[in-house]
Amino acid sequence: MVHSRAVRRGLVSWYIRICRETGRIHDLVDRLLALRRVEEAVEAAEGLGDYALLGVADIFVRHHHGKVAERLVRN
């Protein structure tokens, strides 16, 4: 069981790294929010253009972080 958790953590870390390296911000934000790493998701979303930010805001809303999405869009 411990081995299984370690493997899963490694795969999650790998997936997050690949998303960052390839610019797959939507996938990155979705995974980070699923892992409850909200601040990291916000950091990943900051600096996106208006169109991309709207898509990312929808992901925040889907993960029940509507206030965060609103803050991102307003700034």
How high is the pLDDT of residue 12?
A: 85
* Cβ count near 54 (within 10 Å): 13
Domain ranges across the chain: 2-74
Cα 57 from Cα 12, distance rounded (Å): 22
Task: Read off the pLDDT of residues 6-64 as tens digits, 9 standing for 90 and up.
Answer: 777 888 899 999 999 999 999 999 999 999 999 999 999 998 998 999 999 999 999 99
- 56 closest CA partner among 39, 73, 40: 73
